[in-house]
Amino acid sequence: MADGQHYDVVIIGTGAGGGTLAHRLAPSGKRILLLERGDYLPRERENWDSTAVFVQGRYRAPEFWYDEHGHEFPPETNYYVGGNTKFYGAALFRLRPQDFGELRHHDGVSPSASTCTWGCPSAPPRTRRAQYGSATTHRARPSM
Ligand SMILES: Cc1cc2nc3c(=O)[nH]c(=O)nc-3n(C[C@H](O)[C@H](O)[C@H](O)COP(=O)(O)OP(=O)(O)OC[C@H]3O[C@@H](n4cnc5c(N)ncnc54)[C@H](O)[C@@H]3O)c2cc1C
């Protein structure tokens, strides 16, 4: 490396791909360099403003890409710690464990989800790891 340091693993990007890889490899004892081109997303009221985020593109990368006809377009991409994954995650519904079970509504019963994904002891290890990861992310979310 240019800084004279040796690393066993170099991970580029801190989104779902790079972040989960770093999380998984961290206990291995290997020297890991995690490179991220973006800064931390500033915590501000506009984080929760869908017009600012999606219509005005407040956090969108200030650059243009080109389509196959050579026409430029603003990419829907964000260069921040957490990557596009952070924005995707922010747009997802926050489902509770009970939302996957049978729900009784005024006009009928919504059946239990056929696949048990939340806290199910028989869920495969990879599914449980994913659950744990997303639960950790949710707890870490800032509140305003
Ligand atoms: C609003 C929104 C909704 C979405 N909805 C869906 C959906 O419904 N279903 C779905 O499957 N996908 C969806 N996506 C896409 C999904 O978020 C991405 O496919 C996924 O998060 C990509 O993960 P990733 O780790 O590959 O990349 P990213 O999370 O984008 O991470 C890449 C990281 O690499 C960094 N980086 C880039 N270049 C360099 C460089 N040269 N040097 C150092 N760092 C660099 C970036 O800054 C970024 O942090 C959505 C995305 C957004 C923004």
SS (H, E, C) the chain: CCCCCCCCEEEECCCHHHHHHHHHHHHHCCCEEEECCCECCCCCHHHHCHHHHHHCCCCCCCCCEECCCCCEECCCCCCECCHHHHHHHHHCCCCCHHHHCCEEECCEEECCCCCCCCCCCCCCHHHHHHHHHHHHHHHHCCCC
- Burial of 13 (C-beta count, 10 Å sphere; 0-12/13-18/19+): buried
Q: Pocket residues for ligand 1 (CB within 6 Å)?
A: 12-18, 35-38, 79, 83-85, 87-88, 91
Decide if 86 contacts 43 (C-beta within 8 A).
Answer: no
- CA-82 nearest atom, ligand 1: 49
Instruction: Tell how far the Cα of 126 is from the centroid of ligand 1, in angstroms.
Output: 21
pTM beyond 0.85: no
41, 73, 81, 121, 132 from 37: Cα distances, Å: 12, 21, 8, 39, 27
Q: Candidates 56, 81, 84, 87: which one to mutate for ligand 1, based on the most atoms within 8 Å of Cβ?
A: 84
Q: What is the position in ligand 1's atom list of the atom closest to the CA of 17?
A: 25
Instruction: Quick: pLDDT tens for 68-80.
Output: 999 999 998 999 9
The whole-number average pLDDT for the span 91-114 is 84
Q: Which atom of ligand 1 is nearest to the CA of 38?
A: 47
pLDDT single digits (tens) 17-46: 999 999 999 999 999 999 999 999 999 999
